Amino acid sequence: MIRSAREAIVAVSRRGFVRNVGFLAAGAAAVQGSLLLATPFILSLYGASAFGLFATILATTSVIGGLVALHIDTAIPVIDARFRALRLVSAVVGIIGVVTVVAYAALALLSVCSGGLRNWIGDIGMLYVIWVPAMAFTQTIVVACRAWMIRSQTFRLAVLCNFCRVTAFIALALILGRILARDAQVIVNGLLVAQVAGDLCAIALFLWRARRRERRLMLPWPVRRPLAELRANRGLIGTTSLTGLLAILNTNIPIWTISYVFGLAPTGWFSASQRIVAAPVQFAIDTVGVAFKQRAREKRSRGEPIGSDVLKVLAVLLIMLTPVFALLAWLSRSDHLALLGRDWAGAGPTLAAMLLISFGSIFHSALEGLPLVFRFLVTERSMAWIYDHHIDWESPVAA
């Protein structure tokens, strides 16, 4: 009996879905656990005001990045042809690269013509001007690379890149937090440097581990190929870019509103509560949600039903996260938050409110990409346009 049970366990562990979930679970647990352990030290070093300023800059960056890149990354995991998915990655790289260069060139020209931007936008405005284009570039590339890794099911590499990104962010944030002055407008640079450096580390690791052919196909040259792919998928990209931008705005409008109405310290409470609550939620989405979407895509391509899989995902998420949210609810009503510093003592009610908001959103976040699996079809008209214009596609990358 013991031998048969062992054989059954080995047989199940060899299944691709279970193995992928195991990789994702181990990596996500390491990443989110590291963030949870480091968050109290980072918050106590930087203070609520600096963390609130960091949150507003990050919110602006995410909106600009989503607007510029058109949420093309949403289409990458659902495309069957690997070389066509790579062409969408190259489109993202080309768009965000050109926009970043133009943005910094325009800012340099404006600074020369106006005799210095700092005189009329202030110190906080200069933080936005300096950091938003760079952060939009790195974060957009990271999202596109992650979408490709999900599409190619290289989950181990995705986990390594994410762990490298978080480790670099935590290390630099802690080091720079001790070096820089306590002034919110000065010390926030430590968080911004750590964010960009973490993104660059993840991108470098991805490029190092990617195949040479994949790296070449990710370059937006010749331009006609990514442009042709964008035209072929313009319906899907147009829909996802609009809905994605609305979702980003809905997420970040509270940060801007709190910053404008109440100031940077309450914004820091709100943003820190979001990050604490998001750690277990993101763990569940990065494991169960990602593996489920790829399973749904494969079963859909074979014409198999996935209703039972949807119910299983909802049950697993509920079992995984209910104890965690109960623990965070107790923390929000305790006096332990004051250990972070005097300016964090009022964050308890904000954390409690975020728990109520986030608990229901986990189910939507895990299943939000499911409609794309069913609706994504390259129309015959789009393919006819490609062939009529004699687009010289590269042969597909070997699976």
Q: What is the pLDDT of residue 209?
A: 92
Of 19 and 164, more confident? 164
Of 356 and 34, more confident? 34
Q: What is the mean pLDDT of residues 127-149?
A: 93
Is 70 exceeded by the pLDDT of residue 335?
yes
Q: Which stretch, 38-42, 91-95, 182-186, 229-233, has highest mean pLDDT?
A: 91-95
What value, to the nearest 5°, has the Cα angle with vertex 297 and ends 93 and 73? 15
113 Cβ contact partners less than 8 Å away, ≥ 6 residues apart: none
> What does the alpha-carbon distance between residue 132 and residue 65 come to, in Å, rounded to a whole number?
9
Q: Is residue 155 part of a domain?
A: yes
Neighbours of 124 (CB within 10 A): 15
Is 50 exceeded by the pLDDT of residue 29?
yes
Q: Is residue 11 part of a domain?
A: no
Q: Is residue 2 part of a domain?
A: no
Neighbours of 20 (CB within 10 A): 18
Contact 77, 293 (CB under 8 A): yes
Q: What is the pLDDT of residue 128?
A: 92
Is the pTM higher than 0.85? The answer reads no
Q: What is the pLDDT of residue 394?
A: 43
Nearest CA-CA partner of 362 in 332, 305, 334, 324: 324
Q: What is the mean pLDDT of residues 49-73?
A: 89
Q: Is residue 14 part of a domain?
A: no
Q: Is residue 30 part of a domain?
A: yes
Give the chain's mean pLDDT: 79
Q: What is the pLDDT of residue 65?
A: 86
Is 90 exceeded by the pLDDT of residue 228?
no
Q: Is residue 174 part of a domain?
A: yes
Total of domains in the chain: 1
Q: What is the pLDDT of residue 6?
A: 40
> What does the alpha-carbon distance between residue 107 and residue 369 come to, in Å, rounded to a whole number?
37
Of 163 and 307, more confident? 163
Backbone phi, psi, residue 279, to 5°:
-60, -55
Q: Is residue 264 part of a domain?
A: yes
Q: Which stretch, 20-29, 103-112, 387-396, has highest mean pLDDT?
A: 103-112
Q: Is residue 146 part of a domain?
A: yes
pLDDT (tens digit per residue) in 188-223: 999 999 999 999 999 999 999 998 888 888 888 888
Full domain range(s) for residue 292: 24-386
Q: What is the pLDDT of residue 110?
A: 85
pLDDT (tens digit per residue) in 35-45: 888 888 898 89
> What does the alpha-carbon distance between residue 128 and residue 56 come to, in Å, rounded to a whole number?
9
Helical spans, DSSP H, in the chain: 2-13, 16-69, 82-114, 118-151, 155-179, 184-209, 212-217, 224-232, 234-261, 264-284, 290-301, 307-332, 348-367, 370-375, 380-388
